Structure 1
Amino acid sequence: MFNLCKRLLHRKIVFGSTVGVALFFMLIGVVCWGAFNTALEVTNDMNFCISCHEMEENVYTEYINTIHYNNRSGVRATCPDCHVPKEWQHMLLRKIFASRELFQKIIGTIDTPEKFNLKRLELAQHVWQSMEQTNSRECRNCHNFNAMDIAFQESRSGLVHTYAQQRNKTCIDCHKGIAHQLPDGVLPYKGGSDDDHQHYEQQQIDCYQCHEGMPKPNTDDWEL
């Protein structure tokens, strides 16, 4: 048996390589692929995300006070759950694009709270645009219209979600600021058309369903 294995390892195969050399390169390939996948997994962890003080001292401190961090069901949505696609090809592209952020880290673009707040709107708009383009893909890993039982939702929430499905609205249209502080002057809901507002008025949907946290108008007879 030993002699048979020895002969196989020295037998010539394609392009004059031996089985031993082929097995060696196969092993190298397996190791490299394993290392690559391990690197992807390590960088898909919240501890990795907040290892930079820019994240830990700014968005993380906001996030831990939201329902995505602590809630009655005990299900926690971490940074990669919302910001990194689960599909392998999309995840790989996201990692490639994220590598561009290393240069900004080196030059200290947002290395103080003051610098971060100056860039907050630009950073937020980049994320919102990405979510709109993907139809809030990462949100839908947990919150899918097809899995919602409207009967178990508050009446106004059910009405809004039903209307959102009919009008092909995406999660980020109404749920900006759900996990991080909004930039100054930005509404949680991007506004919508007059037709949207007319529908909400007819259905007697409270303004605060979309505009939570906004100050009340100075008059009681405010109209659209």
Structure 2
Amino acid sequence: AKCSDCHVPHNWTDKMARKMQASKEVWGKVFGTIDTPEKFAAMRRTLAEHEWERLKANNSLECRNCHQFESMDFTRQSPRAVAAHSTDLASGQKTCIDCHKGIAHKLPDMSGVEKVR
């Protein structure tokens, strides 16, 4: 997978909407909010939380472009994964990002955040 697989929707309409949202991120780079590694590191958790909120709001659309619930092979998953996927995910109570934060990136400093079981 490459960056755009997870950060850019695949269908044209959603892709254009995401590109408009991303213009704010470019603004931060151009005008100095996140223009150095240190500033970016300081903003990492905030940026990650915005991305997690976006994925939560769109039911983890980018994940589902490649990973379909109907194609999951529960026999190849751990008991913990089967329990989560067959209940919370299947019912729509949770979406991919609820449990898979940090799947592709090292998590930012998460001190003060309650860990999901």
Question: TM tier, shorter chain?
Answer: 0.7 to 0.9
Residue 115 of structure 1, CA deviation: 0.8
Query: Equivalent of 2:59, from 120, 123, 135?
Result: 135
Distance 1:174 1:117 in 2: 23
Distance 2:19 2:10 in 1: 12
Distance 1:151 1:82 in 2: 26
Question: Would you say the 8 A contact 2:28–2:35 is kept in 1?
Answer: no
Q: Which runs of 5+ in 1 are unaligned?
A: 1-76, 192-209, 211-224
Asked whether 1:94 is paired with 2:18, we answer yes
Supply the AA of the counterpart residue of 1:94.
R
Supply the AA of the counterpart residue of 2:20.
I
Residue 101 of structure 1, CA deviation: 2.8
Q: Could you tell me which residue of structure 2 aligns to residue 176 of structure 1?
A: 101
Q: Which runs of 5+ in 2 are unaligned?
A: none
Aligned pair in 2 of structure 1 residues 106, 144: CA closer, same or farther (>3 Å)?
same
Q: Alpha carbon RMSD of aligned pairs, Å? A: 2.2
Question: Would you say the 8 A contact 1:174–1:189 is kept in 2?
Answer: no
Alignment of 1:1-224 (within 5 A): 77-164=1-88, 165-166=90-91, 168-185=93-110, 191=116, 210=117
Distance 2:83 2:113 in 1: 18
SS at match of 1:182: coil
Query: How high is the TM-score relative to the length of structure 1?
Result: 0.47
The structure whose RCO (Cα within 8 Å, separation 6+) is larger is 2
Supply the AA of the counterpart residue of 1:176.
K
User: Which protein is bigger by CA-based radius of gyration?
Assistant: 1
Distance 1:154 1:98 in 2: 36
Question: How many residue pairs get matched?
Answer: 116
SS at match of 1:169: coil
Further displaced range: 99-108 or 128-137: 99-108
Distance 1:163 1:187 in 2: 27
Residue 188 of structure 1, CA deviation: 9.0
Residue 125 of structure 1, CA deviation: 0.8
Distance 1:147 1:178 in 2: 20
Which consecutive aligned stretches of 4+ in structure 1 deviate over 4 angstroms post-superposition? 186-190
